Amino acid sequence: MNKINFKPILALATAIIISSCGGAKTSNTETAQVEKTAIQVYAFNVGDILVKDISLFNPGVDVGQSMQFSNTAYLIRHPKGDLIWDTGLPDGLNQMADGSDSESFLMKMPVTLASQLEAIGVAPSEVEFLAVSHLHGDHIGNVNMFTNATVILQKEEYDALFNGETPVAEVADLKSNPSVQLAGDHDVFGDGSVVIKRAPGHTPGHQVLFLDLVETGPVVLSGDLYHFAKNREFRGVPAFNTSKEASLASMDSIEAFIKEKNATLWIQHDFKQQETIPHAPEVIK
Ligand SMILES: [Zn+2]
Protein backbone atom coordinates (compact mmCIF):
# COMPACT_ATOMS: atom_id res chain seq x y z
CA MET A 1 0.00 0.00 0.00
CA ASN A 2 1.00 3.56 -0.31
CA LYS A 3 3.17 5.00 2.36
CA ILE A 4 1.15 6.96 4.84
CA ASN A 5 2.73 10.05 6.18
CA PHE A 6 2.04 13.17 8.13
CA LYS A 7 3.86 15.38 5.71
CA PRO A 8 2.10 18.68 5.71
CA ILE A 9 0.57 19.89 2.53
CA LEU A 10 2.19 22.97 1.18
CA ALA A 11 0.90 26.37 1.99
CA LEU A 12 -1.11 27.75 -0.83
CA ALA A 13 -1.85 31.11 -2.21
CA THR A 14 -5.21 31.83 -0.80
CA ALA A 15 -8.15 32.93 -2.79
CA ILE A 16 -10.73 33.71 -0.22
CA ILE A 17 -14.31 33.05 -1.04
CA ILE A 18 -16.52 35.08 1.16
CA SER A 19 -19.64 33.13 1.81
CA SER A 20 -22.04 34.72 4.17
CA CYS A 21 -25.62 34.03 4.79
CA GLY A 22 -27.77 36.31 6.81
CA GLY A 23 -29.57 34.31 9.47
CA ALA A 24 -32.90 35.53 10.70
CA LYS A 25 -32.55 37.39 13.95
CA THR A 26 -34.48 36.17 16.93
CA SER A 27 -35.08 37.92 20.20
CA ASN A 28 -33.68 36.43 23.42
CA THR A 29 -37.14 35.24 24.36
CA GLU A 30 -37.58 33.42 21.07
CA THR A 31 -34.09 31.90 21.30
CA ALA A 32 -34.77 30.58 24.79
CA GLN A 33 -37.86 28.78 23.54
CA VAL A 34 -36.05 26.94 20.77
CA GLU A 35 -35.33 23.37 21.75
CA LYS A 36 -32.00 21.84 20.86
CA THR A 37 -32.07 19.46 17.91
CA ALA A 38 -31.53 15.90 19.10
CA ILE A 39 -28.47 14.68 17.21
CA GLN A 40 -26.80 11.31 17.65
CA VAL A 41 -23.08 10.76 17.45
CA TYR A 42 -21.04 7.60 16.93
CA ALA A 43 -17.31 7.58 17.66
CA PHE A 44 -15.15 5.09 15.75
CA ASN A 45 -11.66 3.83 16.47
CA VAL A 46 -9.99 4.23 13.08
CA GLY A 47 -6.40 3.41 13.90
CA ASP A 48 -3.79 2.91 16.60
CA ILE A 49 -0.72 5.09 16.19
CA LEU A 50 2.44 4.62 18.21
CA VAL A 51 4.42 7.86 18.16
CA LYS A 52 8.06 6.98 18.71
CA ASP A 53 9.18 10.44 19.86
CA ILE A 54 6.39 12.53 21.30
CA SER A 55 8.47 15.73 21.17
CA LEU A 56 7.59 15.79 17.48
CA PHE A 57 4.31 17.32 18.64
CA ASN A 58 5.55 19.21 21.72
CA PRO A 59 8.99 20.51 20.67
CA GLY A 60 11.54 20.17 23.46
CA VAL A 61 9.16 18.32 25.81
CA ASP A 62 9.60 14.62 26.70
CA VAL A 63 12.22 14.16 24.01
CA GLY A 64 12.67 10.52 22.99
CA GLN A 65 9.57 9.30 24.84
CA SER A 66 6.97 7.30 22.95
CA MET A 67 3.20 7.68 23.25
CA GLN A 68 0.21 5.72 22.02
CA PHE A 69 -2.27 7.82 20.03
CA SER A 70 -5.87 6.98 19.35
CA ASN A 71 -7.32 7.89 15.97
CA THR A 72 -10.96 8.79 15.88
CA ALA A 73 -13.73 9.48 13.37
CA TYR A 74 -17.30 10.45 14.15
CA LEU A 75 -20.67 10.02 12.46
CA ILE A 76 -23.16 12.76 13.30
CA ARG A 77 -26.77 11.84 12.65
CA HIS A 78 -28.99 14.92 12.35
CA PRO A 79 -32.66 14.80 11.33
CA LYS A 80 -31.64 16.56 8.11
CA GLY A 81 -28.82 14.16 7.23
CA ASP A 82 -25.61 12.40 8.23
CA LEU A 83 -22.17 13.97 8.48
CA ILE A 84 -18.96 11.95 8.71
CA TRP A 85 -16.15 13.84 10.46
CA ASP A 86 -12.70 12.45 9.58
CA THR A 87 -12.30 8.94 8.18
CA GLY A 88 -9.16 7.54 9.81
CA LEU A 89 -6.32 5.49 8.45
CA PRO A 90 -7.10 3.47 5.30
CA ASP A 91 -9.13 0.31 5.89
CA GLY A 92 -6.56 -1.51 3.72
CA LEU A 93 -4.10 -1.24 6.59
CA ASN A 94 -6.29 -3.77 8.40
CA GLN A 95 -4.79 -6.45 6.12
CA MET A 96 -1.29 -5.76 7.44
CA ALA A 97 -1.03 -7.59 10.73
CA ASP A 98 2.20 -5.82 11.70
CA GLY A 99 0.89 -2.45 10.58
CA SER A 100 2.81 0.27 8.76
CA ASP A 101 6.14 1.05 10.37
CA SER A 102 8.22 4.14 9.72
CA GLU A 103 10.88 6.17 11.50
CA SER A 104 8.31 8.18 13.45
CA PHE A 105 5.17 6.05 13.65
CA LEU A 106 3.85 2.51 13.90
CA MET A 107 0.30 2.57 12.55
CA LYS A 108 -2.31 -0.16 12.71
CA MET A 109 -5.96 -0.45 11.79
CA PRO A 110 -7.45 -3.12 14.07
CA VAL A 111 -11.04 -2.70 12.84
CA THR A 112 -12.14 -1.23 9.52
CA LEU A 113 -14.38 1.82 9.34
CA ALA A 114 -16.53 -0.04 6.79
CA SER A 115 -17.29 -2.82 9.27
CA GLN A 116 -18.04 -0.34 12.06
CA LEU A 117 -20.52 1.53 9.85
CA GLU A 118 -22.10 -1.74 8.77
CA ALA A 119 -22.55 -2.73 12.41
CA ILE A 120 -24.73 0.33 13.02
CA GLY A 121 -26.62 -0.10 9.74
CA VAL A 122 -25.17 2.89 7.86
CA ALA A 123 -24.24 2.62 4.18
CA PRO A 124 -21.38 5.03 3.35
CA SER A 125 -23.01 5.82 0.00
CA GLU A 126 -26.01 7.24 1.87
CA VAL A 127 -24.02 9.65 4.06
CA GLU A 128 -24.91 13.16 2.88
CA PHE A 129 -21.95 15.20 4.14
CA LEU A 130 -18.22 14.57 4.51
CA ALA A 131 -15.94 16.95 6.38
CA VAL A 132 -12.40 16.23 7.48
CA SER A 133 -10.40 18.34 9.90
CA HIS A 134 -7.53 18.35 7.39
CA LEU A 135 -5.90 16.26 4.67
CA HIS A 136 -3.24 14.29 6.53
CA GLY A 137 -3.26 10.56 5.86
CA ASP A 138 -4.59 9.52 9.26
CA HIS A 139 -7.79 11.56 8.68
CA ILE A 140 -8.66 10.87 5.05
CA GLY A 141 -7.91 7.16 4.68
CA ASN A 142 -11.46 6.22 3.72
CA VAL A 143 -12.93 9.32 2.09
CA ASN A 144 -13.58 7.48 -1.16
CA MET A 145 -16.15 5.30 0.58
CA PHE A 146 -18.52 8.27 0.78
CA THR A 147 -19.32 8.42 -2.91
CA ASN A 148 -22.35 10.69 -2.73
CA ALA A 149 -21.39 12.99 0.12
CA THR A 150 -21.04 16.75 -0.26
CA VAL A 151 -17.46 17.56 0.74
CA ILE A 152 -17.15 20.46 3.20
CA LEU A 153 -13.65 21.91 3.46
CA GLN A 154 -11.93 25.27 3.87
CA LYS A 155 -11.03 26.48 0.40
CA GLU A 156 -7.26 26.21 0.95
CA GLU A 157 -7.65 22.57 1.96
CA TYR A 158 -10.00 21.79 -0.92
CA ASP A 159 -7.62 23.34 -3.45
CA ALA A 160 -4.81 21.17 -2.10
CA LEU A 161 -6.77 18.09 -3.12
CA PHE A 162 -6.56 18.85 -6.78
CA ASN A 163 -3.48 20.94 -7.43
CA GLY A 164 -1.02 18.09 -7.06
CA GLU A 165 0.45 19.44 -3.84
CA THR A 166 -1.15 16.90 -1.56
CA PRO A 167 0.96 13.78 -1.09
CA VAL A 168 -2.12 11.65 -0.69
CA ALA A 169 -3.53 9.85 -3.69
CA GLU A 170 -6.53 8.32 -1.97
CA VAL A 171 -8.56 11.50 -2.26
CA ALA A 172 -8.64 11.69 -6.03
CA ASP A 173 -12.14 10.30 -6.41
CA LEU A 174 -13.62 13.20 -4.44
CA LYS A 175 -13.38 15.25 -7.60
CA SER A 176 -16.84 14.14 -8.63
CA ASN A 177 -18.43 14.86 -5.24
CA PRO A 178 -20.32 18.13 -4.77
CA SER A 179 -18.50 20.52 -2.45
CA VAL A 180 -18.93 23.45 -0.12
CA GLN A 181 -15.72 25.49 0.09
CA LEU A 182 -15.38 27.66 3.14
CA ALA A 183 -13.54 30.78 4.21
CA GLY A 184 -14.73 30.64 7.79
CA ASP A 185 -17.22 28.88 10.05
CA HIS A 186 -20.18 26.88 8.71
CA ASP A 187 -23.42 25.87 10.40
CA VAL A 188 -23.95 22.55 8.62
CA PHE A 189 -27.70 22.10 9.25
CA GLY A 190 -28.62 25.72 9.97
CA ASP A 191 -29.74 25.24 13.57
CA GLY A 192 -26.48 25.68 15.46
CA SER A 193 -26.22 22.02 16.48
CA VAL A 194 -23.32 21.10 14.14
CA VAL A 195 -20.90 23.89 13.30
CA ILE A 196 -17.55 23.70 11.53
CA LYS A 197 -15.03 26.18 12.98
CA ARG A 198 -12.10 27.39 10.93
CA ALA A 199 -8.81 26.76 12.78
CA PRO A 200 -5.85 26.97 10.36
CA GLY A 201 -2.20 26.38 11.24
CA HIS A 202 -1.72 22.62 11.43
CA THR A 203 -2.51 22.79 7.72
CA PRO A 204 -3.63 25.82 5.67
CA GLY A 205 -7.32 24.97 5.97
CA HIS A 206 -7.53 23.00 9.21
CA GLN A 207 -10.94 23.03 10.95
CA VAL A 208 -12.63 21.72 14.11
CA LEU A 209 -16.24 20.71 14.76
CA PHE A 210 -18.69 21.99 17.38
CA LEU A 211 -21.57 19.73 18.44
CA ASP A 212 -24.36 20.90 20.72
CA LEU A 213 -25.45 17.59 22.27
CA VAL A 214 -28.69 17.40 24.28
CA GLU A 215 -27.50 14.97 26.98
CA THR A 216 -23.70 15.22 26.81
CA GLY A 217 -23.63 18.99 26.39
CA PRO A 218 -21.54 21.11 24.02
CA VAL A 219 -18.46 19.37 22.59
CA VAL A 220 -15.68 20.47 20.26
CA LEU A 221 -13.92 17.79 18.18
CA SER A 222 -10.30 18.88 18.00
CA GLY A 223 -9.07 17.65 14.65
CA ASP A 224 -5.31 18.11 15.20
CA LEU A 225 -5.50 21.51 16.89
CA TYR A 226 -3.90 19.54 19.73
CA HIS A 227 -2.84 15.90 19.80
CA PHE A 228 -3.06 15.08 23.52
CA ALA A 229 -3.80 16.81 26.84
CA LYS A 230 -0.20 17.85 27.57
CA ASN A 231 0.04 19.25 24.05
CA ARG A 232 -2.90 21.54 24.91
CA GLU A 233 -1.36 22.44 28.27
CA PHE A 234 1.97 23.42 26.65
CA ARG A 235 0.38 24.94 23.51
CA GLY A 236 2.89 22.84 21.63
CA VAL A 237 3.09 23.49 17.90
CA PRO A 238 4.48 20.55 15.92
CA ALA A 239 7.48 21.52 13.80
CA PHE A 240 5.65 20.27 10.69
CA ASN A 241 2.63 22.56 11.09
CA THR A 242 2.29 24.88 8.12
CA SER A 243 2.19 28.00 10.32
CA LYS A 244 3.18 28.41 13.96
CA GLU A 245 1.58 31.85 14.11
CA ALA A 246 -1.73 30.65 12.66
CA SER A 247 -1.64 27.57 14.94
CA LEU A 248 -1.33 29.73 18.06
CA ALA A 249 -4.01 32.15 16.82
CA SER A 250 -6.37 29.19 16.22
CA MET A 251 -5.67 27.87 19.72
CA ASP A 252 -6.64 31.30 21.08
CA SER A 253 -9.83 31.60 19.07
CA ILE A 254 -11.00 28.02 19.69
CA GLU A 255 -10.18 28.22 23.42
CA ALA A 256 -12.26 31.43 23.61
CA PHE A 257 -15.10 29.68 21.77
CA ILE A 258 -14.88 26.66 24.12
CA LYS A 259 -15.13 29.03 27.10
CA GLU A 260 -18.06 30.94 25.59
CA LYS A 261 -19.97 27.71 24.93
CA ASN A 262 -18.81 25.99 28.14
CA ALA A 263 -17.85 23.12 25.84
CA THR A 264 -15.67 20.07 26.40
CA LEU A 265 -12.79 19.52 23.98
CA TRP A 266 -12.48 15.97 22.72
CA ILE A 267 -8.92 15.52 21.51
CA GLN A 268 -9.14 12.97 18.74
CA HIS A 269 -5.62 11.51 19.16
CA ASP A 270 -5.66 11.52 22.99
CA PHE A 271 -5.76 7.82 23.81
CA LYS A 272 -6.54 8.30 27.52
CA GLN A 273 -9.41 10.70 26.93
CA GLN A 274 -10.86 8.65 24.08
CA GLU A 275 -11.01 5.64 26.41
CA THR A 276 -13.53 7.59 28.51
CA ILE A 277 -15.79 8.37 25.53
CA PRO A 278 -18.32 5.74 24.38
CA HIS A 279 -17.48 4.30 20.97
CA ALA A 280 -19.75 2.70 18.36
CA PRO A 281 -21.99 0.78 18.44
CA GLU A 282 -22.84 2.82 21.54
CA VAL A 283 -24.54 6.08 20.68
CA ILE A 284 -23.66 9.46 22.17
CA LYS A 285 -26.58 11.87 22.60
ZN1 LIG B 1 -3.87 13.39 12.94
Looking at residue 176, what is its pLDDT? 83
Every domain of the chain and the residues it spans: 38-275
Lowest-pLDDT choice from 6-10, 22-26, 28-32, 239-243: 6-10
Residues 125-148, mean pLDDT to the nearest whole number: 94
* pLDDT average, residue stretch 163-172: 59
Ligand 1 mean position, distance from CA 222 (Å): 10
**CA of 71 relative to ligand 1 center, distance in Å:** 7
* CATH number, span 38-275: 3.60.15.10
Per-position DSSP letters for 136-184, written without gaps between them:
STTTSTTGGG-TTPEEEEEHHHHHHHHSS--S-GGGGGGGGS-EEEESS
What pLDDT does 204 receive?
Answer: 92
The whole-number pLDDT of residue 32 equals 52
Q: Is 279 exposed, middle or buried (0-12, 13-18, 19+ CB in 10 A)?
A: middle
Alpha-carbon distances of 15 from 32, 53, 64, rounded to whole Å: 38, 36, 40
Q: Give pLDDT, residue 125.
A: 97
Q: Rounded to the nearest whole angstrom, what is the distance from the C-alpha of residue 28 to the centroid of ligand 1? A: 39
Alpha carbon of 139 to ligand 1 centroid (Å): 6
- pLDDT of 145 > 50? The answer is yes
Q: State in Å: Cα 70 to ligand 1 middle.
A: 9
- Decide: helix, strand or coil at residue 5: coil
Structure confidence by residue, pLDDT tens digits, 95-120:
998 999 999 999 999 999 999 999 99
Distance 255 CA to ligand 1 centre (A): 19
Residue 178 Cα to ligand 1 middle (Å): 25
The pLDDT of residue 80 is 97
- Segment 220-229 mean pLDDT: 98
Note the pLDDT tens digit of each residue in 202-211.
Answer: 999 999 999 9
What pLDDT is recorded for position 58? 94
pLDDT in tens, 17-58: 333 333 344 444 445 556 889 999 999 999 999 999 999 999
- Poorest-pLDDT segment among 69-73, 102-106, 123-127, 163-167: 163-167
Average pLDDT across the chain, whole number: 88
Mean pLDDT of 199-222: 97
Residue 112 DSSP symbol: -
Beta carbons of 87 and 73 less than 8 angstroms apart: yes
Give this prediction's pTM: 0.87
Residue 271 has pLDDT above 50, yes or no: yes
CB burial of residue 15 (10 Å; 0-12, 13-18, 19+): exposed
Is there a contact between 220 and 253 (Cβ–Cβ < 8 Å)? no
Got the DSSP string for 45-104? EEEEEEES-GGGTSTTSSTT--EEEEEEEEEEEETTEEEEE---S-GGGGG-TT-EE-SS
Question: 238: CA distance to ligand 1 center in Å?
Answer: 11
Q: Comparing C-alpha atoms, which of 242, 280, 240 is closest to residue 74?
A: 280
CA atoms within 13 A on the CB side of 6: 20
Task: Report whether pLDDT(170) > 60.
Answer: no
The confidence score (pLDDT) of residue 166 equals 58
Least confident of 3-17, 44-58, 192-206: 3-17
Higher per-residue pLDDT: 134 or 163: 134
Q: From ligand 1's centre to the CA of 36, what distance in Å?
A: 30
Residue 152 has pLDDT above 70, yes or no: yes
pLDDT over 90 percentage in the chain: 79
The bridge status of strand 129-131 relative to strand 81-85 is parallel
Q: How far is the CA of 137 from the centre of ligand 1 (A)?
A: 8
45 and 72 Cβ atoms separated by less than 8 Å: yes
